[in-house]
Amino acid sequence: MKKVCMISLGCPKNLTDSEELLGSLCSSGGCQIIQDENKADIAILNTCAFIAPAVKEAVSEIKKLINLKKTGRLKKIIVCGCLVEREKEKLKKKFPQIDSIVSTRSLDKINLAIEKNGSYLENSGNRLISPDYKLRLTVKHSAYLKIADGCDNLCSYCLIPALKGRFRSKSMEMVINETKALIKTGAKEISLIAQDSTNYGIDLYGKPVLTELLKKLIKIPKLKWLRLMYVYPDRLDRELLKLIKNEKVICKYLDIPLQHISNNVLKAMNRKSTEKSIREKIAEIKKIVPDISLRTNFITGFPGETEKDFQKLLNFIKETEFNYVGIFPYSKEKGTTAFNLKYQIPDKIKRKRVNLLIDAQSAVIDKINGRMINKTARILMDNTAYGRTFQEAPDIDGSFFVTSEKNLKPGSFVQAKIIEAMGYNRKAIV
């Protein structure tokens, strides 16, 4: 039996690909999945490569595995994911110690790659299919479900359309069956993921049908929390917001990357949104779902971002009070249209702007925290000490340290009183 270890880097979409890869290895037999690469015969590294820091992390993991192989313990290195998409055969030239490379659209070739060294780069067709079986890499009670992959939005700074291809959805039937399968493995919370969840179904049904999909999923027994990640602001409509408001199973939570607020920058980013459309959308969301938890992302230091553009973004963060904000310095990536834009911002200014935005968001968090003290909340325990309310997504948002005289079980829901909140570290008592 070959001992196989998976190292999964990057976003939850990559994680579900890793679960799928392991699933097909388990179904084919002959492999024992282990966690420690120091004890493995074969290491599979699923990489992320959409920005330079992710490439750096992937390369350092490759070097670690090459050193392990030199000890004679590790027999084979297989690299897959976005770095393979970005580099293709060049990756093997750079690191000849890599035995096989597998592209994100050839995951079904993983068993072949285990048996025969080589490059598996051919595109296995444009249809996104559900895996027969996947080996869950998340906690039992919380799972990710990838409903679509690829992207057609072509934001000027983003490599993902080049790495992941055109937007393609899983059929509703597939998503429903996968949801049922996840619930059978103990999932109570399911986070729906894609590059752009709001575009779900456009390729299969001729128009986005995310709301229809949600209406079917919430009827599935034993599903407690359904969470929406990666929504594109301009495709978020009233019907979807009303469904979020009215359906208990759907978390009053939205991950809605906005990237900026200034029209100059949004235009240069090739975003469909404008300052006006974003402000109206946020106001509409908060009107229809007042207790919504909003996560967003902003990029600062984008080519041509003036001090005035930056101040607009800073004030927008201060006044809007997002629950969670990811703040990124613009990363100049070869292969994107923004790569050739003039007026690139010096790193020193980028860093200064990132820090100012982080400070502004910290002040917002202090305000939000102040309002939650002594409130009670329903918390899903992720382990015996930490849990989340519907307002926190797994892995990226804050969590609560929960104390109780009783033993708290992972996957259980508890009613707790919030007693302390400092930044994203909050305390509650049952």
Residues of the shown chain interacting with ligand SF4 in the complex, contacts defined by CB under 6 A: 151, 153-155, 158, 160-161, 195-196, 232
Cβ neighbours for 9, distance < 8 A, ≥ 6 positions apart: 45, 46, 47, 48, 54, 57, 58, 61, 81
Closest CB 154 distance from ligand SF4, rounded Å? 6
Which CB atom, from 216 or from 332, has the smaller least distance to ligand SF4?
332
Closest CB 152 distance from ligand SF4, rounded Å? 8
Instruction: Judge contact between 130 and 177, C-beta under 8 A.
Output: yes
- Map tokens 């959805």 to a residue: 169
Closest CB 153 distance from ligand SF4, rounded Å? 4
Can you tell me the distance from the alpha carbon of 39 to that of 372, in angstroms, rounded to the nearest whole number? 46
Closest CB 393 distance from ligand SF4, rounded Å? 17
Secondary structure percentages of the chain, helix, strand, coil, to 5: 40, 25, 35
HSE (side-chain half, CA atoms, 13 Å) at 400: 31
Instruction: Judge contact between 182 and 145, C-beta under 8 A.
Output: yes
Which CB atom, from 47 or from 369, has the smaller least distance to ligand SF4?
47
Closest CB 98 distance from ligand SF4, rounded Å? 27
Which CB atom, from 133 or from 328, has the smaller least distance to ligand SF4?
328
Which CB atom, from 118 or from 161, has the smaller least distance to ligand SF4?
161
Residues linked to residue 78 through DSSP beta bridges, in sequence order: 44, 100
Instruction: Judge contact between 18 and 8, C-beta under 8 A.
Output: yes
* Cα separation of the two ends of the chain: 46
Which CB atom, from 159 or from 354, has the smaller least distance to ligand SF4?
159
Closest CB 94 distance from ligand SF4, rounded Å? 26
Closest CB 405 distance from ligand SF4, rounded Å? 46
Nearest to 247 by CA among 208, 222, 219, 286: 219
Cβ neighbours for 11, distance < 8 A, ≥ 6 positions apart: 48, 193
Residue 259 is given by DSSP the state: B
Residues linked to residue 45 through DSSP beta bridges, in sequence order: 7, 79
Can you tell me the distance from the alpha carbon of 35 to that of 252, in angstroms, rounded to the nearest whole number? 35
Packing angle of the helix pair 275-288, 238-246 (nearest 10 deg): 30
Closest CB 270 distance from ligand SF4, rounded Å? 8
Nearest to 66 by CA among 106, 88, 95: 95
Closest CB 119 distance from ligand SF4, rounded Å? 25
Which CB atom, from 141 or from 164, has the smaller least distance to ligand SF4?
164
3-state secondary structure of 144: strand
Closest CB 156 distance from ligand SF4, rounded Å? 9
Which CB atom, from 196 or from 309, has the smaller least distance to ligand SF4?
196
Which CB atom, from 193 or from 418, has the smaller least distance to ligand SF4?
193
**Exposure string for 300-309, b = 16+ CB within 10 A, e = fewer:** bbbbbbeeeb
Can you tell me the distance from the alpha carbon of 401 to that of 405, in angstroms, rounded to the nearest whole number? 14
Which CB atom, from 154 or from 422, has the smaller least distance to ligand SF4?
154
Which CB atom, from 25 or from 163, has the smaller least distance to ligand SF4?
163
